[in-house]
Structure 1
Amino acid sequence: MKKELRIKKNKDFQTVFQQGRSFANRQFVVYSLPKEDQDFFRIGLSVSKKLGNAVTRNKIKRYIRQSVFELKDQLLPGYDYVIIARKPAAEMDFFMIKKSLTHVFKVGKVLKNR
């Protein structure tokens, strides 16, 4: 994922948490915040130490990044998204994570209509 498509700074995370809206399912919580001055979306990831060791957390983050990469044409541009993984995500494979993320994005109405 390119650098300009990532949220890295704590200040940016806090802005999305405080001003954005959230939607969730059992595996993920997603916060979204519209940004008028950008024509692309940015993604921030949060995977807690409660989900497992570093190997497990990095695997979850890789799966989420790849899922977002595959869904990038369907996601609405001009938004900041923060994705928080919950405990059940640790036992999921890539396809289950992609399906779950697609579901949570549909719940939040941030996917373009096909």
Structure 2
Amino acid sequence: MKQAYRLKSPKDFRLTYKKGKSLVNPYLVLYFRKNQKNTYRIGFSVSKKVGKAVIRNRVKRKLREICRLNEKLFSIGYDYIFVVRVRSKDASYHKLEKNLLDLIHKMRK
């Protein structure tokens, strides 16, 4: 996933949490809101409850790869934040992919 598509600023995270909408499933929470840009941006939030740094980074790498391979599904002009739930640390790549794509499809409806 390209750097331009990453949501990094704490200010942008706060705005998305505060003014955005959310969708939930057992493995992930998706916050999203319109941005005034000509691109989409994706951020990930993984708390220490999920596990130690190695596990948290592994989950983020899986999610970034899922987003990279499915980038055509993300609507331009939106900020997305995926909050990882504790259950995700033991989830397989395919289980995470299915849950992430389900959230994206719910959002589009």
TM-score (norm 2): 0.94
How do residues 1-114 of structure 1 correspond to structure 2 at under 5 angstroms? 1-35=1-35, 37-109=36-108
The number of residues matched between the two structures is: 109
Does the 8 Å CA contact 2:39/2:77 hold for their aligned counterparts? yes
Shift of 1:89: 0.6
Q: Unmatched 5+ residue regions in structure 1?
A: none
Per-residue Cα deviation, 1:49-72 (whole angstroms, up to 9, x for no partner): 001111100000000001111111
Quote the Cα distance in structure 2 between the aligned partners of 1:65 and 1:93: 14
TM-score, normalised on structure 1? 0.90
Determine what percentage of the aligned residue pairs are the same residue.
32
Structure 1 segments of 4+ aligned residues over 3 angstroms from their partners: none
Consecutive unaligned residues of structure 2, counting only runs of 5 or more, are: none
Give CA-to-partner distance per residue, 1:5-63, whole Å, 9 cap, x none. 1111111100000111001101100000112x322110010001001111100000000
CA distance in 1, matches of 2:73, 2:107: 13
